[in-house]
């Protein structure tokens, strides 16, 4: 009898654990679906356009159901920023890390960054639109956004420094200055392609990057060393 009770209890515990795992997985899937919808809304309407109510309408959930996953509008906005950053890394940073250290990796980072911007022409870049929305609004949302952008900038600066160490860029290359110039090209591309709808903006951005490299590079395949200005 005692053995039978022990067996029944063990089976019940197993079922309870399985049920909890299923509930947890379902909750994670629901949260991921809400985040995906929120990212779409933020891309179209900006982070300030996000609200529990708007998201509940889009996902056809109750407000309380959405609220249960995030707790507040601020937490929702921060979660969207983190999700955007994670996707940015998956599309831009990690693939480029498979390239050889130095100029090949740095070039890949920029080219993938440009490709990302080209995909976002109809929706907008949360890094850029968020900076406009929160540049003068201190608080946790601004802090989260700035932290993500700064993490990306540190990765770029590190790649520039590695290119110097590999001998692909001149020893006196100022990584901070070069990063500033690369970021400036992306901002110009976003402005001309998304706002002005100017044809050829993507190609101009690529040519501008090659021109930028010619100032810093020590040598490139198939060409003589560039003269420093």
Q: What is the block-wise mean pLDDT of the chain (229 residues), using blocks of 10 residues? A: 56 57 65 89 88 86 84 91 95 96 97 93 87 93 96 97 96 97 96 93 96 85 41
Beta bridge partners of 169: 217
Nearest Cα to 191, choosing from 182, 183, 200, 201?
A: 201
**What is the torsional sign of CA 84, 89, 95, 100?**
positive
pLDDT for position 17: 58
pLDDT for position 2: 54
**pTM, entire model:** 0.80
Fold (CATH) for 73-229: Tetracycline Repressor; domain 2 (1.10.357)
pLDDT for position 21: 58
Nearest Cα to 78, choosing from 140, 1, 160?
A: 140
d(CA 77, CA 81): 6
Q: Which CATH superfamily is domain 1-71 in?
A: Homeodomain-like (1.10.10.60)
Domain boundaries, the chain: 1-71, 73-229
pLDDT for position 213: 96
């Amino acid at each position: 009898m005692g053995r039978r009770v022990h067996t029944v209890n063990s089976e019940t515990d197993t079922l309870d654990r399985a049920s909890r795992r299923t509930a947890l997985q379902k909750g994670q899937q629901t949260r991921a679906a809400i985040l995906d919808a929120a990212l779409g809304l933020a891309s179209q309407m900006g982070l300030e356009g996000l609200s529990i109510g708007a998201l509940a309408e889009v996902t056809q959930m109750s407000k309380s159901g959405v609220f249960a996953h995030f707790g507040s509008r601020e937490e929702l906005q921060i979660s969207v920023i983190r999700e955007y950053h994670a996707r940015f890394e998956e599309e831009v940073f990690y693939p480029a890390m498979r390239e050889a250290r130095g100029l090949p990796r740095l070039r890949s980072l920029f080219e993938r960054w440009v490709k990302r911007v080209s995909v976002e022409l109809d929706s907008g870049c949360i890094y850029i639109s968020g900076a406009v929305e929160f540049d003068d609004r201190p608080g946790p949302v601004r802090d989260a956004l700035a932290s993500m952008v700064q993490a990306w900038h540190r990765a770029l600066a590190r790649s520039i420094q590695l290119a110097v160490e590999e001998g692909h860029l001149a020893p006196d290359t100022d990584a901070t200055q070069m990063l500033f110039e690369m970021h400036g090209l992306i901002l110009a591309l976003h402005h001309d392609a998304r706002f002005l709808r100017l044809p050829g903006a993507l190609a101009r951005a690529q040519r501008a990057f090659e021109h930028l490299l010619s100032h810093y590079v020590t040598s490139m395949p198939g060409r003589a060393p560039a003269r420093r200005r």
